[in-house]
Amino acid sequence: MGSCAALATLGASLRGRAEAAPAAVDPQPQTMPVSLEINGTRHDLTLDTRTTLLDALREHLDLNGSKKGCDHGQCGACTVLVNGRRINSCLSLAVMHEGDSVTTIEGLADGDSLHPLQAAFLHHDGYQCGYCTPGQICSAAGMLSEVEAGWPSHVTDDLTRKASLTDEEIRERMSGNICRCSAYPNIVAAIRDASTKI
Amino acid sequence: MDMNQPIGATPLDGKPDGLVGRPIDRIDGRLKVTGRAPYAYETRDLKNPAYGFLVEAGIAKGRIRSLDVSAAKRAPGVLLVMTHENVPEQGEKKEQVYPQLQGTEIRFHGQPIAFVVAQSFEQARAAAALVRAEYDVQTPEASLKAARPNAVEPKPAQTPPDSELGDFDGAFASAPVTLDVEYTTPVQIHAQMEPHATIASWEAGPDGDRVTLFTANQMLNRGQTSLASVLKLKPENVRLVSHYIGGGFGSKLQPQPEAILSALASRSLKRPVKVALTRQQEFHVATHRTDTIQRIRLGADETGRLTAIAHESWSATAPGDVFYETSAVVTRSLYAAQNRLTRHRLANLNVPIASAMRAPGEAVGQLAFECAMDELAEHLKIDPIELRIRNEPEQDPEKKVPFSTRQLVACMREGAQRFGWDKRGATGATRDGQWLVGMGMAAASRLNPLMPSQAGVRLNPDGTLTVRMAMTDIGTGTYTILAQIAGEMMGLPIERIHVEIGDTAYPKAAGSGGSFGAGSAGSALYVACDNLRQALLQSAGMNAEGATFSEGRVTSGNRSEALADLAGAQGVEAKGEIKPGAMKEKYSQHSFGAHFAEVGVDADTGEIRLRRMLGVFTGGRILNQKTARSQALGGMIFGIGAALMEAAETDTRYGYFVNHDLAEYHVPAHADVPAIDAVFLPELDDKANPLKSKGLGEVSICGAGAALANAVYNATGLRIRDYPLTLDKVIDGWNEREGAAQRRT
Ligand code: FES
Ligand code: FES
């Protein structure tokens, strides 16, 4: 129960009034067909319209690499690439992605050879528990293409020129990905290192 | 092995290029960077699970008048709605693991009142929102400040709540220089990235029911015992599996309500049930670090030698719970003084259950005490490092036993030199553009405990070695350091070591917590390997004297055998066990360190930014330089959070945490963490354990935040004694100072 619901209930009972009875029965869940291209493979699914892209991956496709840290777009653990751009997959309903191409952490490596970001995280110890790691890596991949495309950030001095990938730029652009183990210095080192190899 | 005497020479000694200590990559790293490491909620071993969703109480004190679950029960896909009216009978509470859904009384906001299970996550969540509770509400008591006068002496934890030596009152009254200050620290939240999660499967059997839980838990054997008590099962019939854990920091030391509820639901439904707390539920349903009020009194002579030390701490937990924050325990061993007093008091309030969070006691104790030392140094115009050196004790000042090792002074000196401490300006004297710049330091000290732990090893016919124990890796690098220890002991390359942990089916282990994990579990493994070495030598009829194990072979005298050959067709097994012993009483055992921080304070807005930071630590033998450094950096960054941003704000009218999500409860993010570094001084502690190592996961948070607070003082001349140090408090300080100046003119 969210806090709003909890407080509403509290408010009602403080006033000593019974709540109006909720609607008799919820309608049956609405489902919709959706077709997603995930890590290069097409998947045709019929999903509850309330299912997030994150839960579609985790609960329906057995792709547990993308993590749920908050389910509210506040931590970045669920970051995946949709059509090449990073998004929080917990904030997006799966059925909104008809025809989209989704890349998750499971799709970054090329067979047995790791993506340069994965290899750099391994080498620089850019994690501890590993729970934020898939999100950090996918986010970094998306972030590097944003820099490449010339997108400025809050700390970019000259908006008319392509930003160079300073540590400050990396930190700013990666701040949507929380790491409570606080591997930040090593994550920044890993991204800096990998950026020269992509 | 009982740790009754100092450890002599071991096979780990004198190997500067050995496997132990080497900064190798984590052996579980590949699984983590490819997303293939399965955390609790993700196990595929328990098929066809139903989905649970927990319903929290929306009040902090009172009674459930009615709980209407009719709509929830009728909702699509719902399989079970469990409340106090239909919950199966449970056993006794054990430690902080409580039976769930017991009656109508509500003691704290977020106390579980129902558990809804459905075919899908979306259905369970929607149905949970249909549960309607009506309450007879009572006014909660939720303010520690208000409850302080009535706080009571708590039951002893590991140590007694109070200590006294000499005559504190007399010495304080007659001291030429005194300080009497109060610091407050707020409620802090572990905020580990993986929420508490469990998939439970209950099976009825001829020799009693059994339950298996894939669950996020730091101490599996402790969890096994407490769940057995609450679920009324034999401990051996409770199996906990926790192969990968998305951070713990104390939040997963004991099973949380979701573990119990999913187990009970699985029992009713005869089907596995999976559940994760939502991020919002984490704040109230799971535990937190209590807020504290700490009073510190110091008496010293004019040269800064302490004659009297008093440290008192008040903390809070839920009604009926006994956990208290041991803030002042570290003060008993940190600095010399003849006359000493420490005291802990506890208030039982209508707040969620408080428990251990990274360095319970020390972390907040040193936030206060290390600032008080800075205040005294400032008052006496003595350098803060010099003040600490003048009060360096020759032995533990309260236990009156020697320290096993103590390199606090060396850490401070090394750090000062590396950080450029001599460039620190006078208070308020350094400016860089809009930034007021300051440096601060603080000492770090954390108890080094050893816990009983067991390990099993097996040399396989193919010459590989399997290590097994119910140990956990919460990001601490346990998989890797265990492989390093086993590899070094047996002379096998890391690729030939299989580490199997995270399952109570394996030998009982200490688990991860209290900085005892690596030392305890690693020592059990050391002993197991030592026993395996003896067994192999004996069965091969080789002389143990001078035997060496390296490159997959054992060599003794002029004989040399491949381990694979000695393993035979069946393989060879050995066990090992470590237990704490007399060394614990005969020596005072702590890890030490020193933190240095440089901050900038915006001269207009009061915004505080950390500019750089350094930690210098000693923790006995470092088992892996790479993972150890990561852990130390992590602890320091926790300290940044504690100093500058972390606070769960209690609405004392309703007894709940207002900012209960990750958007509002701020933990450090990338942009908050500039260049920081951690280094270790060489050390071996032969009184600690056979590895001669000490804990590292917590010493690095101890004092870290105080170094930042002291730097803020150096930058601004403002002493903010209420954590966290946010810009509003800086501006209040400036306003106060201005008001005082105006009043003077
Ligand atoms: S789980 Fe999506 S942002 Fe946290
Ligand atoms: S590695 Fe644990 S949260 Fe980032």
pLDDT band at A198 (very low <50, low <70, confident <90, very high): confident
| pLDDT of residue A62 exceeding 60 | yes
Domain count, chain A: 2
Q: Quote the pLDDT of residue A1.
A: 33
pLDDT band at B740 (very low <50, low <70, confident <90, very high): confident
Q: Does A99 reside within a domain?
A: yes
Whether residue A98 is found in the same domain as residue A147: no
Q: Does A152 reside within a domain?
A: yes
Whether residue A120 is found in the same domain as residue A187: yes
| pLDDT of residue A17 exceeding 50 | no
Report yes or no: B65 at the A interface, CB cutoff 8 Å: yes
| pLDDT of residue B586 exceeding 80 | yes
Where a domain ends, among A44, A76, A107? A107
Q: Does A60 reside within a domain?
A: yes
pLDDT band at A164 (very low <50, low <70, confident <90, very high): very high
Q: Quote the pLDDT of residue A2.
A: 36
Whole-number Å distance between alpha carbons of B446 and B331: 10
Check which CATH number belongs to the domain holding A63 and give it: 3.10.20.30
Q: Quote the pLDDT of residue A6.
A: 40
Q: Quick check: CB of A140 below 6 Å from ligand 1?
A: no
Check which CATH number belongs to the domain holding A157 and give it: 1.10.150.120
Q: Quote the pLDDT of residue A18.
A: 37
Whether residue A140 is found in the same domain as residue A167: yes
Whole-number Å distance between alpha carbons of B131 and B137: 18
Whether residue A147 is found in the same domain as residue A100: no
Model pLDDT for residues B91-148, shown as the tens digit of each residue? 999 999 999 999 999 999 999 999 999 999 999 999 999 999 999 999 999 999 999 9
Whether residue A120 is found in the same domain as residue A185: yes
Q: Quote the pLDDT of residue A44.
A: 98
Q: Give the containing element (helix H, strand E) for B732.
A: helix B727-744
Q: Quote the pLDDT of residue B206.
A: 85
Residues 90 to 129 of A: which have CB under 8 A from any B CB? 104-106, 108-109, 114, 118-119, 121-123, 125, 127-129
Report yes or no: B668 at the A interface, CB cutoff 8 Å: yes
Over range B160-170, report the average pLDDT.
Answer: 98
Q: Quick check: CB of A182 below 6 Å from ligand 2?
A: no
Report yes or no: B494 at the A interface, CB cutoff 8 Å: no
Whether residue A41 is found in the same domain as residue A99: yes
pLDDT band at A4 (very low <50, low <70, confident <90, very high): very low
Where a domain ends, among A89, A107, A125? A107
Model pLDDT for residues B279-320, shown as the tens digit of each residue? 999 999 999 999 999 999 999 999 999 999 999 999 999 999
Whole-number Å distance between alpha carbons of A69 and B277: 10
Q: Does A13 reside within a domain?
A: no
Rg over alpha carbons for chain B, rounded to the nearest Å, is 27
Whole-number Å distance between alpha carbons of B294 and B279: 30
| pLDDT of residue B590 exceeding 60 | yes
Cβ <8 Å between B121 and A122: no
Report yes or no: A147 at the B interface, CB cutoff 8 Å: no
Q: How many CB atoms lie within 10 A of CB B401?
A: 14
* Domain of residue A187, residue span: 116-195
Whether residue A54 is found in the same domain as residue A95: yes
Q: Quote the pLDDT of residue A10.
A: 40
Query: In angstroms, what CA-CA distances link A43 with A56, A59, A97, A134, B36?
Result: 11, 14, 12, 21, 20
Q: Which residues contact A158 (CB under 8 A, 6 or more apart)?
A: none
Whether residue A62 is found in the same domain as residue A38: yes
Q: Does A55 reside within a domain?
A: yes
Q: Does A21 reside within a domain?
A: no
Cβ <8 Å between A75 and B76: no
> Mean pLDDT across chain B, nearest whole number?
97
Q: Quote the pLDDT of residue A25.
A: 54
Where a domain ends, among A80, A107, A134? A107
Whole-number Å distance between alpha carbons of B348 and B336: 34
Model pLDDT for residues B617-664, shown as the tens digit of each residue? 999 999 999 999 999 999 999 999 999 999 999 999 999 999 999 999
| pLDDT of residue A108 exceeding 80 | yes
**Nearest 5°: CA angle at B702, between B614 and B221?**
125
Model pLDDT for residues B201-226, shown as the tens digit of each residue? 999 988 899 999 999 999 999 999 99
Whole-number Å distance between alpha carbons of B336 and B307: 8
Q: Which ligand has the minimum distance to the alpha carbon of residue B191?
A: 2
Whether residue A37 is found in the same domain as residue A100: yes
Q: Quote the pLDDT of residue A5.
A: 39
Over range B438-446, report the average pLDDT.
Answer: 98
pTM: 0.96
Share of chain A above pLDDT 70, in %: 86
Whether residue A189 is found in the same domain as residue A133: yes
Q: Quote the pLDDT of residue A20.
A: 43
pLDDT band at A27 (very low <50, low <70, confident <90, very high): low
Residue A54's SS3 state is helix
* Measured torsion, CA atoms of residues B147, B152, B154, B155, in degrees rounded to the nearest 10: -140
- Nearest-CA residue for ligand 1 atom 3 is A73
Q: Which of B258, B302, B698, B738 is catalytic?
A: B698
Whether residue A139 is found in the same domain as residue A82: no
DSSP B495: G
Q: How many CB atoms lie within 10 A of CB A166?
A: 13
Which of left, alpha, beta for B435 (phi over 0: left; psi -120 to 50: alpha)? beta
| pLDDT of residue B526 exceeding 90 | yes
Q: Which two tokens stand for residue A179?
A: 């790491």
Q: Between helices B625-644 and B362-380, what is the axis angle to 10°?
A: 70
Over range B711-724, report the average pLDDT.
Answer: 98
Model pLDDT for residues B673-708, shown as the tens digit of each residue? 998 999 999 999 999 999 999 999 999 999 999 999
CB–CB of B349/B141 below 8 Å?
yes
Q: Quote the pLDDT of residue B510.
A: 97
Over range B470-492, report the average pLDDT.
Answer: 98
**Nearest 5°: CA angle at B700, between B697 and B706?**
145
DSSP A149: T
Q: Quote the pLDDT of residue A26.
A: 57
Residues of B in contact with A172 (CB under 8 A): 670-671
pLDDT band at B157 (very low <50, low <70, confident <90, very high): confident
Share of chain A above pLDDT 90, in %: 84
Q: Quick check: CB of A126 below 6 Å from ligand 1?
A: no
Residue B408 CA, chain-centre distance (Å), reads: 22
Query: What is the ipTM for the molecules in this complex?
Result: 0.97
Q: Quick check: CB of A178 below 6 Å from ligand 1?
A: no
Q: Does A18 reside within a domain?
A: no
Whether residue A153 is found in the same domain as residue A99: no
Q: Does A138 reside within a domain?
A: yes
* List of domains in chain B: 2-37+451-580 (3.30.365.10), 361-449+586-637+673-738 (3.30.365.10)
